Amino acid sequence: MKWYPVPGIELTGEPFIKKVKLSGKGIIIIGYENNLYALGSTCPHAGAELSGGWCKEGKLICPFHRYAYDLETGKGDPGQNDYVDSFPVEIRAGEVYIGIETFWDRVFN
Ligand code: FES
């Protein structure tokens, strides 16, 4: 697992959705109810940009057709049969880090 710092996030407790590109991947970092989450930024249903979505009851809602994805796991609601990637988030010395599995992690695990 390689960890990437994401500068410029102020942890004020206010909700936010911020899109970043890390290791070639579009990722949205979500602040919601005093927790941080990181999910893939593209909706698997029809490719919408999820950074334009919003959070409701522990889920990220896609702005196009309102599909819902669990903030913790990225799993789609029952019946959707889809998911978005989810990434671990850590705060180190006040800075946000996102963990991304490397090729070698996949080979050796
Ligand atoms: S593109 Fe996201 S729900 Fe259809």
Q: Which residues does 10 contact at the CB level (< 8 Å), separation at least 6?
A: none
Mutate to test the pocket of ligand 1, among 28, 42, 43, 61 (most ligand atoms within 8 A of CB): 43
Ligand 1 atom closest to Cα of 50? Answer: 2
Q: Which domain holds residue 104?
A: 2-108
Is residue 109's pLDDT more than 80? no
Helix (H) / strand (E) containing 39: strand 35-40
Question: pLDDT by residue (tens digit) across 25-82?
Answer: 999 999 999 999 999 999 999 999 999 999 999 999 999 999 999 999 999 999 999 9
Task: Quote the ligand 1 centre to 16 CA distance (angstroms).
Answer: 20
Contact in structure between 4 and 87 (CB atoms under 8 Å): no
Among candidate residues 53, 48, 47, the one with its CA nearest the CA of residue 37: 53
Is residue 105's pLDDT more than 90? no
Task: Quote the ligand 1 centre to 69 CA distance (angstroms).
Answer: 11
Query: Strand order of the sheet with strand 54-56?
Result: 54-56, 59-61, 68-70
DSSP 102: -
One DSSP character per residue, 62-75 reads PTTT--EEETTT-B
Domain count within the chain: 1
Give pLDDT, residue 10: 87
CA geometry: angle at 24 spanning 23 and 27, to 5°? 85
Task: Quote the ligand 1 centre to 46 CA distance (angstroms).
Answer: 5
Task: Quote the ligand 1 centre to 101 CA distance (angstroms).
Answer: 26
Facing residues of 104 across strands?
A: none
Give pLDDT, residue 103: 86
CATH number at residue 49: 2.102.10.10
